[in-house]
Amino acid sequence: MNYKKVYAMKAERERKISKICPGIPHRSGIYAFYRDDESGLHMAYCGQAVDLLSRCASHLAEYDHIGLSLKKRGFYSEYNPYGWKLAFQECRKEDLDENERATIKNFADKGYQLYNVSSGGQGAGRTQIGEFKPAKGYHDGIRQGRKSLAKEILHIIDTHLTVTLKPGKENNKVSIRALEKFWELLKGEEQK
């Protein structure tokens, strides 16, 4: 792993955050990404951080719902009026949970649609307010790969090939079952 490259990328993300939100510190506090979209809807994501600048910058490297939206929509500017804006408020570490909950509620009360999936906080009192999507893991990728392969094989067979038993095996029960299993595997994987 090239650590110089990793730190350079982190520093670049922090510069980008500092540019759109001057004065954001390396101290604890609450942050909120918010924007208005083309149809007038108000969107927001609120979070807490022990290091505001580092945490906000880390969203630019993530592939969750808010990270992807930040990449897609970009930041607010004269040329991008529907981009994300960033606000923050410093607070003590002991007050992070309480202040995050209050900030989320404040945005919700103002009519913002929240990207948050919980009411905020790290411990007791945290409740679900949005839909949790299960993380896609290794086995989900394998399953998707099998499904795509089965679909492609069926397309090739339908378009270009004829699949039959070898001559002399047409009446062999084991061969007939093997052909049936082949079709079940392909069609079963395609439908999953």
| pLDDT per residue as tens digits for the range 1-41 | 788 998 999 999 999 999 999 999 999 999 999 999 888 89
Q: Are residues 17 and 103 in the same domain?
A: yes
pLDDT of 131 reads: 57
Lookup: tokens for 39: 């149809």
Q: What is the CATH number of the domain that holds 72?
A: 3.40.1440
pLDDT over threshold 60, residue 56? yes
Q: How large is the average pLDDT for residues 83-107?
A: 94
131 within a domain of the structure (yes/no):
no
Lookup: tokens for 123: 């411990």
pLDDT over threshold 90, residue 123? no
Give the CA count within 13 Å in the CB-facing half-sphere of 45: 16
Percent with pLDDT over 90 in the chain: 52
Q: Are residues 99 and 17 in the same domain?
A: yes
User: Confidence band (pLDDT; 50, 70, 90) for 47?
Assistant: very high
Contacts of 157 (CB under 8 A, 6+ apart): 163
What residues make up the domain containing 143? Answer: 138-191
pLDDT of 93 reads: 94
122 within a domain of the structure (yes/no):
no
74 within a domain of the structure (yes/no):
yes
CA distance 124 to 42: 29
Q: Are residues 26 and 91 in the same domain?
A: yes
Q: Are residues 108 and 29 in the same domain?
A: yes
> Which residue shows structure tokens 């067979």?
157
Q: Which of 151, 133, 149, 152 is nearest to 141 (CA)?
A: 149
Q: Are residues 67 and 27 in the same domain?
A: yes
- The total number of structural domains in the chain stands at 2
**Are 76 and 37 spatial neighbours (Cβ–Cβ below 8 Å)?**
no
Alpha helices in 59-95 (DSSP H): 65-73
CA distance 35 to 91: 23
> 125 or 8: whose pLDDT is higher?
8
Q: What is the mean pLDDT of the chain?
A: 87
Kindly give the pairing relationship between strand 29-36 and strand 42-49: antiparallel
Global pTM?
0.65
With the CA atoms of 155, 160, 165 and 167 taken in that order, what torsion angle do they form, in degrees rounded to the nearest 10? 180
